[in-house]
Amino acid sequence: MTPLAILYVDDDEDIRHIVRLSLALDGGIALQTAGTAAEALVLLDRGPPPQVALLDVMMPGTDGLALLTLLRARPDTATLPVIFMTAKGRPADAALYRARGALGMILKPFDPLDLANQIRTLMQAGPNESG
């Protein structure tokens, strides 16, 4: 079985480390991480696009919403499924993320033991049913 290829972009090294450890518990995931939008774009230029991108909303410089706009402008990532990971979890935020084309959001702090399942559940639900 081919592993689920995920790109996780977050400026917080500690959270990237926790996500790495969490998703390593699931043998069916291949994870790449980036600390900035610019690093993420370099990773995308180097290889095939992932099957899903997890984007932190609040990052210095290019934030998650701006990165989503950049991804949509690229032919190779125009339809890439995106899930936001954020501490901003109000219903209005979830509606904004879905309106911008994201599958939904995962709230921080997240359950490390359930993260892979949350990602797969959002991917299966699709953009109109997740949140």
* Domain 1-57, architecture per CATH: 3-Layer(aba) Sandwich (3.40)
Which of 86, 77, 94 has its CA nearest to residue 130?
94
- For residue 79, give every residue at least 6 positions away whose Cβ sits within 8 Å of its Cβ, in sequence order, or none: none
Per-residue model confidence as pLDDT tens digits over 56-82: 999 999 999 999 999 999 999 999 999
On average, the pLDDT of the chain sits at 93
Q: pTM (2 decimals)?
A: 0.93
Residue with token string 């359930």: 114
Mean pLDDT of 98-115: 95
